[in-house]
């Protein structure tokens, strides 16, 4: 696990011993985390792990029960309004006003962000450019994916330093997902923006620099994404057994081994380097193919090993 950087000037977020409680439910439990400016971070964890609670806390929409949150050096509890000027936020559930058009929603938000005059008009025009076809339609009449794209455009329209996305691409088609991802990548190429996001799409998680895993409100760890894969991913073995007896021996000896129904091969992911098992695999396989295990496997393995 890598250490957070000590350069305070380069820190987008510093969370110190933060606890969030909803009544008797502890959603975040003594969590400390630093996020360096310019980082793209995925917040990972199972349903109910506390991801949205952390995201809302970062978005200043939730106050910690204990502990302290600093955003760009601003104490969020003392100056939430100032902190919000730095932020673009896409919540997990819909946040547009369905009774207004797309344009009206963006106009309202631009005013809330303190954009005025020419700067306001050009920010709105730029944000609306991809939505020519439905800029003047009521939001209530848009599809889920169209609404989501508008929410992302709205979050980016005031050029925030920090963008926070809670499952921004959930439940929408591949093209809309790509469009959202493209707009984020475009912003990344032009400005040094910090992005903190949750997603259940492994290909999106794989494109973030860093990730952290929450489990029952606790932070299990925080890694550069390739380090998580290296430390917990292990190797994926595909074995064509020499004969039926060899296949039985492999299935009996390898924990979690299964038959791939398409090819009939024995498949297993091994996260530890055990010389005895490797010798057994070599002795019973007519053909052997080894590849790095995918990132989702590393996330499951890290959670299993680190959760107490
Ligand atoms: N408004 C609320 N009132 C009471 N409990 C809540 C509230 N919001 C969340 N919780 C509880 O806090 C815990 C963390 O919830 P949270 O929404 O942060 O999880 P999550 O990781 O975002 O889950 P998911 O993947 O399902 O979105 C859960 O036990 C949840 O039931
Ligand atoms: Mg959530």
Could you give the strand order of the β-sheet that contains 266-270, starting from the edge strand earlier in sequence?
A: 258-259, 266-270, 235-241, 285-292
Rounded alpha-carbon distances, angstroms, from residue 264 to 233, 242, 244, 247, 282: 24, 12, 11, 10, 18
Q: Which of 18, 29, 31, 48 to mutate to test the pocket of ligand 1 (most atoms within 8 A of CB)?
A: 48
- Number of the ligand 1 atom closest to the C-alpha atom of 217: 14
What confidence score (pLDDT) does residue 6 get? 42
Cα 152 to Cα 129: distance, rounded to the nearest angstrom: 13
In sequence order, what are the beta bridge partners of 194? 162
Nearest protein Cα to ligand 1, atom 28: 48
Residue 218 CB–ligand 1 contact under 6 Å: no
Residue 135 CB–ligand 1 contact under 6 Å: no
Residue 66 CB–ligand 1 contact under 6 Å: no
**What's the pTM?**
0.85
Residue range 234-292, CATH number: 3.30.70
Fold annotation for 38-60+81-223: Rossmann fold (3.40.50)
From first to last of its 308 residues, what are the pLDDT tens digits of the chain? 444 444 456 899 999 999 999 999 999 999 999 999 999 999 999 999 999 999 999 998 899 999 999 998 888 888 888 888 889 999 888 788 999 999 999 999 888 888 888 989 999 998 898 888 888 999 999 988 888 889 988 998 888 889 999 998 887 888 888 888 888 888 888 888 999 999 989 999 999 999 999 999 999 999 999 999 988 988 899 999 999 999 999 999 998 899 999 999 999 988 877 889 999 999 999 999 999 888 998 999 999 999 97
Residue 51 CB–ligand 1 contact under 6 Å: yes
Contacts of 2 (CB under 8 A, 6+ apart): 222, 223, 224, 227
Q: Give residue 47 CA to ligand 2 midpoint distance, Å.
A: 7
pLDDT tens digit sequence for 72-110 = 888 888 888 888 888 999 988 878 899 999 999 999 988
Structure tokens at 40: 């793209």
| Annotated domain spans of the chain | 38-60+81-223, 234-292
Contacts of 297 (CB under 8 A, 6+ apart): 233, 234, 236, 269
Q: Which of 51, 92, 165, 197 to mutate to test the pocket of ligand 1 (most atoms within 8 A of CB)?
A: 51
């Amino acid at each position: 696990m890598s250490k957070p950087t000590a350069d305070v000037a380069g820190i987008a977020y510093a969370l110190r011993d933060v606890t969030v409680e909803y009544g008797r439910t502890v959603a975040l439990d003594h969590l400390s985390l630093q996020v360096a400016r310019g980082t793209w971070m995925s917040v990972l964890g199972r349903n109910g792990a506390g991801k949205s609670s952390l995201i809302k806390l970062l978005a200043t929409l939730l106050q910690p029960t204990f502990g302290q949150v600093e955003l760009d050096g601003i104490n969020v509890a003392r100056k939430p309004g100032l902190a919000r000027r730095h932020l673009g936020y896409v919540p997990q559930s819909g946040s547009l006003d369905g009774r207004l058009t797309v344009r009206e929603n963006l106009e309202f938000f631009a005013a809330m962000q303190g954009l005025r005059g020419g700067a306001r008009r050009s920010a709105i025009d730029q944000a609306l450019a991809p939505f020519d076809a439905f800029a003047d339609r009521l939001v209530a009449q848009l599809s889920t994916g169209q609404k989501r794209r508008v929410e992302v455009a709205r979050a980016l329209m005031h050029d925030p330093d920090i963008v926070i996305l809670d499952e921004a691409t959930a439940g929408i088609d591949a093209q809309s997902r790509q469009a959202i991802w493209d707009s984020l990548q475009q912003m990344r190429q032009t400005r040094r923006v910090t992005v903190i996001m949750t997603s259940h799409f492994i290909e999106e998680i794989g494109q973030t620099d860093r990730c952290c895993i929450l489990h029952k409100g606790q932070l299990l760890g925080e890694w550069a994404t390739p380090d998580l894969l290296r430390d917990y991913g292990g190797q994926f073995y595909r074995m064509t057994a020499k004969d039926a007896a060899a296949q039985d021996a492999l299935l009996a000896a390898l924990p979690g081994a299964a038959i791939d129904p398409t090819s009939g091969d024995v498949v297993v992911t091994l996260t530890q380097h055990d010389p005895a098992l490797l010798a057994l695999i070599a002795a019973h396989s007519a053909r052997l193919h080894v590849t790095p295990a995918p990132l989702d496997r590393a996330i499951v393995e890290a959670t299993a090993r680190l959760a107490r």
